[in-house]
Structure 1
Amino acid sequence: MATKPKKNEPADYEAALQELEQLLAHIESGALPLDQLLAGYQRGAELLAFCRNRLQSVQEQIQVLDQHMSQPVPE
């Protein structure tokens, strides 16, 4: 069962990555006023942390599965 995202938290990794890519395009365009640039940078940092945490979680799950699969099968 999936947990409900917190306010302003992306629904999943793919949504966070897509938002981050769009945000980077806006920032790199150079068309944002300073206030929006700062807000965009802060949001980008939040999205990056979300993606890193999600990847870490998946990596840990894979390690658990690998350990389980490498154990000998009882006869």
Structure 2
Amino acid sequence: MTSPSTPKKTPPSARAGAASDVAASYEAALEELEQLVAQLDAGQLPLDQLLTRYQRGAELLAFCRSRLEAVENQIKVLEGGELKPWDAA
């Protein structure tokens, strides 16, 4: 006999290593975030979908920020502890 209750899914933010589960890469997260912003800006979604997409966007934004911070820290190490301005020219 099986139990009548089914196990509940743990939300991504509550899982260990959640940041790596959010997106495959910074670029993928940024692309999805841009799509979500376009959907939210269109204003054509029902309220519950707006909330769900807003929450997903917040997860993606946190993921992107953490990836950028990690890269910045790596650059500081490579530059001997001093972050130098980027010269893209």
Give me the whole-angstrom Cα distance separating, in 2, the residues matched to 1:65 and 1:58. 11
Structure number with the higher helix fraction is 1
The Cα of 1:67 is off from its aligned counterpart by: 0.4
Partner of 2:66: 53
The CA deviation at 1:23 is: 0.3
CA distance in 2, matches of 1:42, 1:66: 36
- RMSD, aligned CA: 1.1
Matched residue, 1:18: 31
Could you tell me how far apart the structure 2 residues matched to 1:27 and 1:67 are? 42
Q: What SS is found at the alignment partner of 1:40?
A: helix
Question: Which among 77, 82, 86 is matched to residue 64 of structure 1?
Answer: 77
* Structure 2: gaps spanning 5 or more residues: 1-19, 82-89
Question: In structure 2, which of residues 49, 56, 64 is the aligned counterpart of residue 43 of structure 1?
Answer: 56
Question: Under a length normalisation based on structure 2, what TM-score does the superposition of the two structures give?
Answer: 0.67
Length-normalised TM-score, structure 1: 0.79
Which structure has more relative contact order (CA 8 Å, sep 6+)? It is 1
Aligned length, in residue pairs: 62
**For 2:24, what is the secondary structure of its paired residue?**
coil
